[in-house]
A and B are shown apart, each in its own frame.
Chain A
Amino acid sequence: MIWNSATQFFAMGGYGLYVWGAYAVTLACLAVEPVLALQRHRAARRALAAEGDSP
């Protein structure tokens, strides 16, 4: 561990805004994209099931 405190870690040597701005947007994208893909898959399964019920 190279940090002495959590404050020091979050400050990132004064570059906190840049570093965490990059990480926050990356995390948001990587969290949202799988949800969208899963929703699309679920919607496809629902549409398929509905079609089978009323041919």
Chain B
Amino acid sequence: MSTSWRFFRFASPAAFYPLAGMLVPWFGVVAAVLAAVGLYLGMLRAPTDATQGDAYRIIFIHVPAAWMSMLLYVVMAFWAAIGWAFNARLASIVARAIAPTGAMFTFLALWTGALWGKPTWGTWWVWDARLTSELILLFLYAGFLSLVSAIDDPRRADRAGALLAIVGSINVPIIYFSVKWWNTLHQGATVSVAAAPKMASTMLTAMLLMTLAFWAYAFAVVFTRARAIVLERDRHAGWAQASVRPPASAAAPGMQT
């Protein structure tokens, strides 16, 4: 009983704000350290690929960015749905805070993919199932962001955004399985839970470290943005006012109010 009470305590913006603020620097440090080790292994230690030469080194940012683009969409749709179903304001705020970061990782997956496709496939872009569904993911993020910013009432905007996010989540399994369901130019999964990875262990370690780095980065940025949105929305709440000024006793010693 007391455990669940403690868990739900952080569903209140007043409790979330300082907790997230404490966690942000740690996620930032973890992201930087993991990225440094991952890039060291990937760019300086991993061998040159036998068929793709050194162009394959784009994998260390392409695959983590693509994974994050899908993961963040699922997490965004989940919190948007929780915020709608249980009228939980903080959940909707977190969903909104995720969207720009998810959109950025989607763009990076497409950008790094284009720069990898040109030397290996001979083209920047093809309208195959994997690339097209990833582009649709970018449009879904953009649609979510423009929809919630177009509606003035924040809670109405949250509900409209949640509906779009939930309906759009059908696209995530389509992206993931597109290389199996259709005959695509994009290669199949290099790493999956069902089979042994088809790559050298240094390459795999570097790629997984970069994925964890991107994941920690996403936590740091999403929490920072969520804290900003919490303050923007709760600007009339006493706790928000108190959070931007020193305690009354320190500011005005001896004054009774």
Please indicate the chain A residues that have their CB under 8 angstroms from the CB of B107 in the complex. Answer: 29
Could you tell me if A51 and B235 are in contact, using CB atoms closer than 8 angstroms? yes
Q: Is B82 an interface residue (CB 8 A)?
A: no
B55 CB contact (under 8 Å) in A2, A12, A49, A52: A12
Q: Quick one: CB contact mask for B218-232 with A, threshold 8 Å, 1 for yes? A: 001100110111011
User: Do B224 and A22 touch (CB < 8 A)?
Assistant: no
- A8 CB to nearest B CB, Å: 10
Q: Per-residue 0/1 for B10-50: is the Cβ within 8 Å of any A Cβ (1 yes, 0 no)?
A: 00000000000000000010000000000000011111100
A14 to B52, alpha carbons, bound, how many Å?
A: 11
- A22 contacts B232, C-beta separation under 8 Å: no
Main SS class of interface, B = helix
| Cβ-based interface call for B9 (8 A) | no
By a beta-carbon cutoff of 8 Å, the part of chain B in contact with chain A is 28, 43-48, 53-55, 57-58, 61-62, 65, 100-101, 104, 107-108, 111-112, 115-116, 118-119, 217, 220-221, 224-225, 227-229, 231-232, 235, 240-241, 243-245
Sample of 5 further A-B pairs with CB below 8 A, known A12-B57, A13-B48, A45-B244: A12-B54, A22-B58, A25-B112, A26-B65, A37-B221
